[in-house]
Amino acid sequence: MTQQQTAGGDVRLAGISKTYGSFTAVQPLDLTVPQGSFFALLGASGCGKTTTLRMIAGLEEATTGTVFLGEKDITDLPPYKRPVNTVFQSYALFPHLDITENVAFGLRRRGIKSVKKQVDDMLELVELGDFARRKPHQLSGGQQQRVAVARALINHPQVLLLDEPLGALDLKLRRQMQLELKRIQTEVGITFVHVTHDQEEAMTMADTVAVMNGGRVEQLGAPADLYENPRTTFVANFLGTSNLIEGEIVSTGGDLVVAAGGGKLTLPRERCSAATTTGGRLLLGIRPEKISLAHADDADSIAAGRNRVTGRIVDSSFIGVSTQYVVESPAGKALQVYEQNIDRRAGLLPGAEVVLHWNPAHTFGLDADQDIDAGVESVEDAA
């Protein structure tokens, strides 16, 4: 199915905020969602992502600020006058209407009489043609989810809002629906704004991810960029896992050199998001899968120019594709290392003395004045 590019443009939030009494759900926020993009708002529960989405939908009145759709100010429009539709958490399908009538609901409210063709096409797009006369409770979770998408998409909204649309599905179905939604988005070319607490989901589907925490956007960017270049400890910990090592800057000529854990580690200056003055403190970050492990005895065979940290394995778990090690070292009590299971490595057992080494270019630097554990627990809460 082809979709004409609706002349609408970007969703632009200018200084938008929401307070309930004395509680601030969303801090004044500026955000632009480019037309046609798949945009994800990612964060733990209570971070303000759903409230932001509901302000775009018009279901929540913004306390301050303006919502623009293209050049048009839609802040004061009620939801039924906005060219924006929502796929609700747990779907909110009308239990008293069958699938056809659920999907046709928006068309009928806008006074469109002949809805049959459009409804049939839309049910075809979501592969539910055979279920047109069923009631919502007679469908499985995945099917209900697709009805919810069809019910919103049939109105050709300029923006489709998805509020945790996959939260109620089991893991396997969720993976399948992620690809499905991505396919539909590419096919219809509508701007999707997707709210989720699942970082894998956000990274799989979205072009751009905004990580939210405590009512503000921590960082915004393409998934790979966010993963490789987190600018805050929250993002570093919330997206995947990071080893964060605190150190003191000893040299700023060329690459940065940092004294940490009894040794010296280097990182490229452009990968550091914090101020760099000699003597200042810095958090060094390195992803677990970028680290290689060597026996202390084999330390000589490590190539020169790599960052090194010595330590002792305290725990190892075999995951199948990889083995995950926890290493205790002067640089950090529980450094994580993921190693691909290409060859079985003998001797890397708990208690073994090891050297962790990695390419300095993979190191990133963060401001040391932050909670080093920010974002760690929220991942566990969400899991």
Partner 1 sequence: MSLTEAPPAPPADPREPVLRKPSTRKRLVPYWLLLPGILWLVVFFALPLVYQASTSVQTGSLEQGFEVTWHFQTYVDALREYYPQFIRSLLYAGTATILCLLLGYPLAYLIAFKAGRWRNLVLVLVIAPFFTSFLIRTLAWKTILADGGAVVDVLNTLHVLDVTSWLGWTESNRVLATPMAVVCGLTYNFLPFMILPLYTSLERIDGRLHEAAGDLYATPATTFRKVTFPLSMPGVVSGTLLTFIPASGDYVNAELLGSTDTKMVGSVIQSQFLRVLDYPTAAALSFILMAIVLLAVTFYIRRSGTEDLV
Partner 2 sequence: MPVLRWIRRNLVVIAGLLTLAYMILPNIVVMVFSFNKPNGRFNYAWQRFSLDAWKDPCGVADLCGSLSLSLQIAFWATLGATALGTMIAFALVRYRFRARGAINSLIFLPMAMPEVVMAASLLTLFLNMGAQLGFWTVLIAHIMFCLSFVVTAVKARVMSMDPRLEEAARDLYAGPVQTFLRVTLPIAAPGIAAGAMLAFALSFDDFIITNFNAGSTVTFPMFVWGSAQRGTPVQINVIGTAMFIIAISVVLVGQVIASRRKNNARP
The residues binding partner 2 (CB under 8 A) are 57-59, 78-81, 84-86, 88-90, 92-96, 105-106, 109-110, 133-135, 138, 151-152, 155
Among candidates 13, 337, 340, which has minimal Cα distance to 193? 13
Please report how close the Cβ of residue 20 comes to partner 1 at its closest, in angstroms: 12
Q: In this structure, what are the phi and psi dihedrals at residue 302, rounded to the nearest 5 degrees? A: -75, 135
Residue 220 touches which of partner 1, partner 2, none (Cβ within 5-8 Å per kind): partner 1
Q: Which is nearer to partner 1, 207 or 339 (CB)?
A: 207
Please report how close the Cβ of residue 227 comes to partner 1 at its closest, in angstroms: 12
Q: Which is nearer to partner 2, 57 or 235 (CB)?
A: 57
Please report how close the Cβ of residue 273 comes to partner 1 at its closest, in angstroms: 8
Residue 92 touches which of partner 1, partner 2, none (Cβ within 5-8 Å per kind): partner 2
Q: Which is nearer to partner 1, 214 or 221 (CB)?
A: 221
Residue 118 touches which of partner 2, partner 1, none (Cβ within 5-8 Å per kind): none
Q: Which helix (H) or strand (E) holds 281?
A: strand 281-286
Q: Which is nearer to partner 1, 12 or 151 (CB)?
A: 12
Q: Which is nearer to partner 1, 31 or 177 (CB)?
A: 31
Q: Which is nearer to partner 2, 51 or 233 (CB)?
A: 51
Residue 78 touches which of partner 2, partner 1, none (Cβ within 5-8 Å per kind): partner 2
At position 266, the amino acid (one-letter code) is T
Q: Which helix (H) or strand (E) holds 173?
A: helix 171-188
Please report how close the Cβ of residue 93 comes to partner 2 at its closest, in angstroms: 8
Residue 207 touches which of partner 2, partner 1, none (Cβ within 5-8 Å per kind): partner 1
Residue 370 touches which of partner 2, partner 1, none (Cβ within 5-8 Å per kind): none
Please report how close the Cβ of residue 10 comes to partner 1 at its closest, in angstroms: 8
The rounded distance, in Å, linking the Cα atoms of 98 and 7 is: 32
Using CA atoms, how far residue 9 sits from 5, 141, 177, 185, in Å, is: 10, 33, 27, 16
- Which residues share a beta bridge with 323? 318, 339
Q: Are 111 and 100 in contact (CB under 8 A)?
A: no
At position 82, the amino acid (one-letter code) is R
The rounded distance, in Å, linking the Cα atoms of 381 and 269 is: 34
Residue 229 touches which of partner 1, partner 2, none (Cβ within 5-8 Å per kind): partner 1
Which spans of this chain sit near partner 1 (rule: CB under 8 A)?
12-15, 17, 28, 30-32, 34, 61-66, 68, 207-208, 219-222, 225, 229, 231
Q: In this structure, what are the phi and psi dihedrals at residue 111, rounded to the nearest 5 degrees? A: 80, 20
Full DSSP string of 256-279: EEEEETTEEEEE-GGGB-S---TT
Helices (H), 12-170: 49-57, 99-109, 116-125, 141-153
Residue 338 touches which of partner 2, partner 1, none (Cβ within 5-8 Å per kind): none
Q: Which is nearer to partner 1, 229 or 359 (CB)?
A: 229
Q: Is 322 exposed, middle or buried (0-12, 13-18, 19+ CB in 10 A)?
A: middle
- What residues contact residue 343 under an 8 Å CB cut-off, 6+ apart? none
Please report how close the Cβ of residue 80 comes to partner 2 at its closest, in angstroms: 5
Q: Which is nearer to partner 2, 81 or 333 (CB)?
A: 81
